């Protein structure tokens, strides 16, 4: 696909058929998502030694069966497919008794994925071999979150270190998941269009009237990192903001929100009350599921500031993104241009899409 010019002043946006083409959608599954780091779970369901949790890499899109296992407080991830005949090994969250046994023909593995035995295998030659072990997936635990990748050659820290460097003073590990405040949204638009919208504050005064009242739009800014970026929302006078510690590089500023985006599809939105983690999951070229997961730090601040009207803001975003999805199908629309001041994040995103899609 076309390369995005690194000079935002002359660059054109990504080609419009990226938002509509099923062929490009399928290519992005392997070129972008299989090569990305994805959040697999948090550690709430894996507290005990031997805990096992079956998952899909990106459910509904990259349907790769995996299982997370707590091995002596080290959480590992393995293929959840028996190396004999391909049966799914673990179907539900459970507590393992030191081994995994396939229900099809009785092949057994230990909790580190190593083959133990299989009935009726006495006459098999060159058996067992390394291929009889379960494939281990590269994982990284960050705070209480567990991430994994199927085939990324880019180290995890290149995606996530800017977040910890900026807001590591928060006790993120102690934030408490609140299922009652978490929900899923279905958006009738391409996943990348949803990310485009998130990655700029340009639309805030036009689409989010109430949110705009809490933020000083004149001070809204974006910071770009190799595989993530940050938008900083400054609170209007009198609005709620972080009580920043002196060691924060933002000390003295009235910050209402830190909006971190991590390529290709994750948003970490930090507010004085805690974290709204948003995961954008493609379903087909014109349909996307967005998971909102809420982690509470200080519940007394939930009703104040930029983070108090998330559902309203989400509904407004869905409405405009769905209209844009209809617009980009026009035969008269192929590319747009970027605002150098307000759309640095979108430009960065489009560059990364182009780079990953063009990799061999």
Give the pLDDT confidence of 295-319 residue by residue, as tens digits. Answer: 999 999 999 999 999 999 999 999 9
* Residue 17 maps to a domain: no
Q: 122 and 94 in one domain?
A: yes
| Cβ count within 10 A of residue 210 | 12
Structural domain range at position 91? 38-149
CATH number of the domain enclosing 333: 3.90.380.10
Residue 90 has pLDDT above 90, yes or no: yes
Q: 172 and 127 in one domain?
A: no
Residue 173 has pLDDT above 90, yes or no: yes
* Residue 129 maps to a domain: yes
- The alpha carbon of 161 is separated from its chain's Cα centroid by a whole number of angstroms, namely 15
Write down the pTM of the prediction. 0.96
User: How many structural domains does the chain have?
Assistant: 2
Annotate 130-149 with DSSP letters as a single string. GGGSPPEEEEEEETTEEEEE
Q: 48 and 85 in one domain?
A: yes
Q: How far apart are CA 356 and CA 30, in angstroms?
A: 10
Q: Give the residue from 115, 149, 183 where a domain finishes.
A: 149
Residue 237 has pLDDT above 90, yes or no: no
Q: 194 and 58 in one domain?
A: no
* Residue 26 maps to a domain: no
- C-alpha distances (whole Å) from 184 to each of 175, 280, 281 are 20, 10, 10
The 3-state DSSP class for residue 86 equals coil
* Residue 28 maps to a domain: no
Q: 87 and 235 in one domain?
A: no
* Residue 211 maps to a domain: yes
Q: 172 and 114 in one domain?
A: no
User: 92, 124 in Cβ contact below 8 A?
Assistant: no
CB burial of 96-115 (b: ≥16 within 10 Å; e: otherwise) equals beeebbbeeeebebebebeb
Length of the chain in terms of residues written: 360
Quick one: average pLDDT of 234-241?
Answer: 92
Quick one: average pLDDT of 197-213?
Answer: 97
Q: 268 and 298 in one domain?
A: yes
- C-alpha distances (whole Å) from 154 to each of 67, 125, 149 are 22, 38, 10
Q: 164 and 139 in one domain?
A: no
Q: What is the DSSP letter of 17?
A: G
Q: Give the residue from 110, 129, 149 where a domain finishes.
A: 149
Annotate 189-239 with DSSP letters as a single string. S-HHHHHHHHT-STTHHHH-HHHHHHB-GGG-EEEE-SSEEEEEEEBPTTS
- Report the mean per-residue pLDDT for the chain: 97
The 3-state DSSP class for residue 19 equals helix
Quick one: average pLDDT of 191-213?
Answer: 97
113-168 residue pLDDT tens: 999 999 999 999 999 999 999 999 999 999 999 999 999 999 999 999 999 999 99
Angle between helices 344-357 and 191-198 (to 10 degrees): 150
pLDDT bin (cut points 50, 70, 90) of residue 238 is confident
* Residue 82 maps to a domain: yes
Q: 180 and 125 in one domain?
A: no
Q: Give the residue from 113, 133, 149 where a domain finishes.
A: 149
The 3-state DSSP class for residue 70 equals strand
Residue 324 has pLDDT above 90, yes or no: yes
Residue 24 has pLDDT above 90, yes or no: yes
């Amino acid at each position: 696909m076309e390369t995005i010019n690194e000079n935002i002043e002359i660059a054109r946006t990504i080609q419009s058929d990226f938002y509509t083409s099923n062929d490009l959608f399928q290519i992005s599954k392997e070129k972008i998502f299989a090569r990305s780091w994805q959040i697999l779970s948090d550690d709430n369901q894996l507290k005990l030694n031997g805990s096992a949790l079956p998952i899909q890499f990106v459910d509904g899109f990259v349907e790769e069966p995996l299982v997370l296992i707590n091995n002596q407080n080290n959480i590992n991830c393995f293929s959840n497919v028996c190396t004999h005949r391909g049966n799914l090994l673990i179907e539900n969250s459970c507590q393992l008794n030191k081994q995994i046994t396939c229900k099809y023909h009785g092949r057994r593995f230990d909790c580190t994925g190593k083959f133990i035995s299989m009935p009726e295998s006495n006459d098999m030659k060159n058996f067992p071999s390394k291929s009889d072990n379960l494939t281990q997936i590269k994982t990284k635990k960050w705070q209480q979150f567990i991430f994994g990748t199927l085939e990324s050659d880019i180290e995890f820290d290149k995606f996530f270190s800017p977040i910890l460097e900026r807001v590591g003073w928060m006790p993120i590990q102690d934030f408490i998941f609140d299922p009652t405040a978490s929900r899923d949204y279905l958006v009738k638009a391409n996943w990348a269009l949803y990310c485009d919208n998130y990655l700029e504050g340009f639309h805030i005064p036009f689409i989010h009237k109430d949110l705009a009242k809490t933020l000083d739009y004149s001070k809204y800014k974006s910071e770009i990192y190799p595989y993530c970026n940050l938008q900083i929302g400054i609170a209007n006078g009198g609005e709620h903001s972080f009580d920043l510690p002196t060691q924060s590089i933002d000390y003295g500023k009235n910050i209402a929100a830190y909006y971190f985006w991590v390529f290709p599809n994750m948003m970490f939105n930090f507010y004085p009350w805690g974290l709204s983690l948003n995961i954008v999951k493609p379903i087909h070229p014109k349909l996307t599921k967005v998971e909102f997961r809420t982690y509470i730090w200080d519940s007394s601040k939930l009703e104040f500031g930029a983070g108090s009207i998330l559902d309203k803001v989400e509904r407004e975003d869905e409405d405009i993104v769905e209209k844009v999805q209809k617009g980009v199908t026009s035969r008269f629309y192929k590319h747009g241009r970027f605002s150098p001041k307000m759309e640095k994040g979108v430009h960065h995103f489009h560059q990364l899409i182009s780079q990953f899609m063009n990799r061999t």
